[in-house]
Amino acid sequence: MASGARAIVVVGGGLMGLSAAFHLRRADPQVQVTVLERARVGDAASSASAAGVRVMGRDPAERAMALESLGRWPELDRELDAETGYRRGGGLRIALDDTGWAEARATVGEQRADGVPVELVDAAAAHRLAPGLSPDCRGGVHCPIDGQAEAVATVRAWATAARRLGARIEEGVGADALVVERARVVAILRSDGARLSCDVALVAGGAWSASLLAKIGLRFPFRGRGLQMLLTDSAPATLTPVVGCFGRPLSLKQLADGAYLIGGGWPARVPDESVNRWEVLDDSVRGSLEVARAVYPPLVPCTVARSWAGIEAFTPDDLPVLGPVLGVDGLLIAAGFSGHGFALVPTVGDVLARLALGLDPLPYLWRGLGAARFA
C-alpha cells in the first residue's frame, strides 16, 4: 500500500474497526479516518463477546498474534486511557475423563514449542487453582497469562481512544457499496446516499462483510452464526481463572461483581443473516448450564439472570481473513474471527494500520490468515 494514503474509511464499528482507527491516527495524525457503523459501535458481536483474553488452545496460525496481543493487554487501560475491565487470572482447561486427560497431555508439547506458556497440572493442582471444581477432575492445562476483560467496557474504551486521537466515528450510517475504478477502491457509497472518497477501504463488518464484498465480485465464505451467552446472579467470589473443559463446550468466568458468565459456543438461532437479530434456544441454555454445573458444582444454586447472543462471522477453517486482496488495490479485510477474535484486537488493529499506511505489516504475526486462501 502506498504511503501517501490520506483518507481511510473503516466499514464496521466493532472492536477490529475501532482498533484500526485508533492505530491509524496514532501512527499518522494527518490521515483522515472515518468509521462507518450502521447501528451503534459494538452493537453486534463485539459487545456480546465472552471477552476471553487467551492464547491457550489456539490454532497454530493464530498463536504468534495472540502472544503479541497478550503482551499488550496488561497495559491496555493506560494505553487507551480508558478501562477495559481486564484481569489476568490465568486460564485452566480441565479433563473429567480418560479421553479428556489424554487430550490434555497431547496438547502441551506443541503449544510450548510455539512459545505458549502452558503447563500440565494434576488434579490437586487444578483444585488449588480453582477450588470447587468437580471431584471427577483428572487434571488439566493451565496458562498463567490468559485472562478476561469486559466486552462493553472494552468497546467503549477503543471508541473513546479513537475519537480522542481524531478518528471520526459515524453511527447509524452503513456502507452500501464499494466503488472500484481501474481495479482500485476509490470511494464508499454510504447508506445515506452520499459518496465518501477514500484511498483505502478497510472492511471489518463481521458477518455482514460478505454481502458488501460480493457486490464487487469478491466471494468470501463468511457465515453468520449466533453464539449464546448466559449471565447468572451474583455469588461469592471464588473463581479466578477462566475455566474450560476438554471434550465439552464451556467457557466459564466469574466477573468482578460475582456473577458467572457462561459460554462455549452454544448456538442461538439467527432467523435472517442480513440483520442483527437472534433468538436464544432453550436447548442451548439447558445444555450450557448442565456442562457448567458438571465442571464447577458451585454453579448449581445460581440462576440465569440474563441470556443473549452475538452474531459472529465464521470461515470454513475457523480462522479469520486478514489483509489485502489480490487484484483490488486500496482494500483491506478483517473478518471471520469465528468466535475467538476478542483477545487479538490490539494486534489486528496495529497490522491493519501498518498495511494501510505502507509501514512494516509484521507478516510473521498473521502468516496463514491472508485472503489468498479463499481467493
Give pLDDT tens digits for 78-118. 999 999 999 999 999 999 999 999 999 999 999 999 999 99
Residue numbers of the domain that contains 370: 7-50+152-222+317-374
| Sign of the torsion angle spanned by Cα atoms 261, 266, 271, 273 | positive
Q: Higher-confidence residue: 42 or 323?
A: 323
* Closest C-alpha among 207, 194, 178 to residue 311: 207
Q: Say whether both 328 and 184 belong to one domain.
A: yes
358: left (phi over 0), alpha (psi -120 to 50) or beta: left
Where is the domain boundary, 296, 313, 330?
Answer: 313
Average per-residue pLDDT for the chain: 95
- Residue 86 C-alpha cell reads as 481486564
The domain that holds 344 is classified in CATH as 3.50.50.60
Structural domain contains residue 1 = no
Q: Give domain status of residue 30, yes or no.
A: yes
Whether residue 176 lies inside any domain: the answer is yes
> What CA–CA distance (Å, rounded) separates 169 from 160?
10
Distance CA 337, CA 344 (A): 9
186 and 216 both lie in a single domain: yes
Domain check: are 269 and 205 in the same one?
no
| pLDDT tens digits, 124-157 | 999 999 999 999 999 999 999 999 999 999 999 9
82: closest CA among 133, 183, 144, 152? 152
C-beta neighbour count of 182 within 10 angstroms: 6
With 90 as the cut, is the pLDDT of residue 307 above it?
Answer: yes
Given a cut of 60, whether residue 4 has pLDDT beyond it is no
Which band of pLDDT confidence, cut at 50, 70 and 90, is reported for residue 265? very high
Which CATH number belongs to the domain containing residue 96 in this structure? 3.30.9.10
pLDDT band at 271 (very low <50, low <70, confident <90, very high): confident
pLDDT digits (tens, 9 = 90+) for 227-240: 999 999 999 999 99
Q: What is the pLDDT of residue 47?
A: 87
C-alpha cell of residue 146: 490468559
- Nearest alpha carbon to residue 35 among 157, 153, 163, 180: 163
The answer to which of 17-26, 201-210, 238-247, 264-273 has the lowest mean pLDDT is 264-273
Pairing mode of beta strands 7-11, 32-37: parallel
Cα 196 to Cα 192: distance, rounded to the nearest angstrom: 11
